[in-house]
Structure 1
Amino acid sequence: MKRTKVKLQLQSPSISMDGSAIMLSEAIAKKWKIPLRQSLQLQYGSYQQEVMVVPVSQTASVMRISEPLLSRWGLTHGDQLCLQYRPGTRQLLIGPLIGVLVSRVYTSNPDKPFGASTAFTRELTDACKLYGAAVFFCTPDDVQSQSETIRGWQYTNKWVRSTFPIPNVIYNRLTSRKLENQVNVQQFLGYAKSEHSAIFFNEKYLNKTEVFDALRKESGLQVYLPESYLLKSPQLLKMMCVKHPVVFLKPITGSLGKGIIRIRRNPEGTYTCHFTDLSGARRQSYPSLSTLFSAISGKIKSQNYQIQQGINLLTVGGRPVDFRALVQRDEAGAWKITSIVARIAGNDHFVSNLARGGTLSTVKEALSRAGTAAASGGYSKLQLAALRIAKGIETQVSGHFAELGIDLALDTQGRVWLIEVNSKPSKDDNTPLSAEERKIRPSVKRLVQYARFISKF
């Protein structure tokens, strides 16, 4: 795809006060076959303005726009955006404009309005500048069902609250199902997609049972799937506990390892449960499955749980290790591995989440420290599994996803297993371990590259 970046500049008031004339480098007009001094539609997000193009005979890639139009559209002198011309509709487009839905803004802290996510929002802003895009951040409170504009936040040497058009691309970083299912959010998204062809990705949280049921339908993926079901009865619990020495109960909408229960069958016929909490894992023994089920029945009634076969994981220093693959769509829309990191469980924990004391390691180091033949060739097997699972999600699960956090495990026989798929991967878990990559991470660059591709910029 041919791509042109233009630098926006203020034009002389004598050219056009109302924004009806813009000035564009002659070379760009020629390259895109843009008609000169004829009526065209200039478009930025959902904003439109009827203009005519006046050529400028200079080599620099510039577009000069009147100050009132720049100001009205929330643009500033020096902004760089991609440009394209669509002759069929006589549209001259600049962008892409990316809107990011975030959960909340801390207005009392102007330097860190997005709390722990502020560093990521700054990084995404920098990546947009690098690739000729614009980005703003908004919350569910900022969107209305059929509004043509959105209030949001943009970084211009400081955080500024402004009004924006409906963007070309909407990226969902909402951190709860409750927020993304709000009526005003769903109505706004439906309107933006249907009326303005906005592209919305990472549409929803994934439900663990939904993912496993969907992937079972995809040829060749069953090999990665531990036996799992939606837990509905004591009979199902008995069947799984008889069949497998260890099973896990996981809330189907859980995250960060919250609420996971590990059940181990003991040789004498008793059962030991480990419950996760913030301080570690609480242990409780039960003389029979019926007493165990009675003890956890309250949890199961209040929340749906998935029951899953336990896996005999590789360990590092006696602690279980799993792997988080970040898989993203690239500048051509194809799924690619951006990173894979190893996560080693903390002391007294059987889950590896960083929030629960887990530590990061490179895959190579973790496999080396595991010190077993089962780790041989593990990295390439993890890569293959992650890509195949991402493509399976694309085929079998409804919704548009552009990045997935895919949690994988290697067992003591060297077999790869899927633990879960996260459609809202943390922007901290995959932080590169090498300091020189900290400026703009490849994962953040790839988000903007995909946004340009999918919006045809």
Structure 2
Amino acid sequence: MNPSRRGVIVSNVIGILLDLKTYLGILRNQTGYEHIDYYNQAAVELGMTPFYMCLKHVNTKSALGLCFENKNYTLKRLPIPKVIHNRAMTLSPTSLKKLKAIAKISQVFNGQNRHDKLHIHRLLRASANSSVFLPHTVKYSRENLVKAMNREDSFFVKPTNSSVGKGIIKVAAMPDGVWQVWWSNQLPRQLAQQQTIDFIDGKVNSQRYLIQKAIPLSMYEGRPYDLRVSVQRGDKGQWGVTGIAGKVAAVGRHVTNLAKGGEAVRCEKLFLSNGFDPVVKRKQVEEAAILIAESLSIQIPSISDVGMDIGIDHQGAIWLIEVNGRDQRYQYKHLNLNKTFYRTYETPMLYAKFLLSK
């Protein structure tokens, strides 16, 4: 007979680690981008009990959290689940230390889900399978900035540890030694070379940034687009692509993020607008994304649920822009791709059941 704690079959419990704000919002149905009902639905269909936790209420032996059973939430203290899907952003030294302690007694997948972009680039560059998809990228320095201005017609200066397009600067060469610079939501400015260097250096201001060659992205209605590709481990522990959604930049913007005014568009529509065969191109994107995920998971074994930003250039070549360790998934909701949206929650639960069975 399986051990239980107040009616809960502990061996069937799957931990889902959330940020404190998201955790506290469960009973009020205010969980932001997290569609908790989909976790519940998937877990129930798979014969598992989801147990929602936050690091504040966890110690090295047990956790106080919300158990979803019989269509209701119950506050319980249970032993640390054997398998935990991490959806919390653990950036502080304290939270990282606690997460590492939990990982010693539990299989925590996607344990560290905020990754330094330059570190990820270096890991992938070492793999022949993934390096072909990487645009030229270097650590930011004033010297490397000057080199980029001598080498590239267009490039990005990006913070290595941010999300939703924050802090990104785009730089493009114009005639007569003038550079066009896009920063934040401001209109682009035109600056001489030395002014450009001083402006960018001032914005970076000793923070950790990188310089990345701009991909000549394919366009939709005169605006650049890229793809958000959800790549997840599933029921047999293997990588697969759960969904693909297009993100089109707002008019005059240099980033495609929906949080920065971008528009979600179905990828097939984007492919057709550029003359790409939608079936062939989607398959190529999926194959590239899986190769990248497999290469990355050799270096970071716990990684299992990511959102990749992938660009396609005018010739149809595929490029990795960045890897997001905590895919928000809401682009599928914008596109009414409800089955795909559900599957992005079901797939981690399938992987959790696979880990539990081992």
Q: Is the TM value for this pair above 0.5?
A: yes
Check whether the contact 2:157–2:209 (CA below 8 A) recurs between aligned residues. yes
The corresponding residue for 1:27 is none
The corresponding residue for 1:191 is 101
- Aligned-pair distance for 1:219? 1.2
Provide the C-alpha distance between the structure 2 equivalents of 1:100 and 1:404, rounded to a whole number of angstroms.
16
The corresponding residue for 1:385 is 288
Check whether the contact 2:23–2:52 (CA below 8 A) recurs between aligned residues. no
Aligned residues with identical type, % of pairs: 24
- Aligned-pair distance for 1:176? 5.4
The answer to whether residue 182 in structure 2 is matched with residue 282 in structure 1 is no
Larger radius of gyration: 1
The corresponding residue for 1:149 is 62
The corresponding residue for 2:132 is 223
Provide the C-alpha distance between the structure 2 equivalents of 1:358 and 1:436, rounded to a whole number of angstroms.
20
Q: Cα–Cα, structure 1 residues 218 and 106, in superposed 2: closer, same or farther, change >3 Å?
A: closer
Runs of 4+ that moved beyond 6 A: none
Provide the C-alpha distance between the structure 1 equivalents of 2:277 and 2:97, rounded to a whole number of angstroms.
50
Check whether the contact 1:273–1:285 (CA below 8 A) recurs between aligned residues. yes
The answer to whether residue 230 in structure 2 is matched with residue 326 in structure 1 is yes
Check whether the contact 1:273–1:283 (CA below 8 A) recurs between aligned residues. yes
Say which is worse superposed, 293-302 or 134-143, in terms of deviation: 293-302
The answer to whether residue 154 in structure 2 is matched with residue 246 in structure 1 is yes
Alignment of 1:295-306 (within 5 A): 295-306=199-210
The corresponding residue for 1:67 is none
- Aligned-pair distance for 1:327? 0.8
Question: Which of the numbers 340, 345, 360 marks the counterpart of 2:249?
Answer: 345
- Aligned-pair distance for 1:159? 4.0
- 1:201-260 deviation line (CA, Å, top 9, x unaligned): 11211111011111110013222110001102x221111122111010111001001111
3-state DSSP class of the match of 1:112?
coil
Check whether the contact 1:322–1:410 (CA below 8 A) recurs between aligned residues. yes
Q: Could you say what the CA RMSD is over the residues aligned between the two structures, in angstroms?
A: 2.4
The corresponding residue for 1:102 is 19
The corresponding residue for 1:48 is none
Check whether the contact 1:106–1:115 (CA below 8 A) recurs between aligned residues. no
3-state DSSP class of the match of 2:205?
helix
Q: Unpaired runs of 5+ in structure 2?
A: none
The corresponding residue for 1:359 is 263
Check whether the contact 1:375–1:414 (CA below 8 A) recurs between aligned residues. no
Provide the C-alpha distance between the structure 1 equivalents of 2:338 and 2:197, rounded to a whole number of angstroms.
51
The corresponding residue for 2:46 is 131
Q: Cα–Cα, structure 1 residues 216 and 272, in superposed 2: closer, same or farther, change >3 Å?
A: same
- 1:159-201 deviation line (CA, Å, top 9, x unaligned): 44321210111221123523xx4x2x3443333333x3x1011
The corresponding residue for 1:413 is 315
Provide the C-alpha distance between the structure 2 equivalents of 1:74 and 1:429, rounded to a whole number of angstroms.
39
Structure with a larger share of its residues in helix: 2
- Aligned-pair distance for 1:113? 4.7
- Aligned-pair distance for 1:109? 8.2
Q: Cα–Cα, structure 1 residues 139 and 113, in superposed 2: closer, same or farther, change >3 Å?
A: farther
Check whether the contact 2:307–2:324 (CA below 8 A) recurs between aligned residues. yes
Q: How many residues align?
A: 356
- Aligned-pair distance for 1:139? 1.9
Q: Cα–Cα, structure 1 residues 349 and 75, in superposed 2: closer, same or farther, change >3 Å?
A: farther
- Aligned-pair distance for 1:110? 3.8
Check whether the contact 2:33–2:330 (CA below 8 A) recurs between aligned residues. no
The answer to which structure, 1 or 2, has the higher relative contact order (CA under 8 A, 6+ apart) is 2
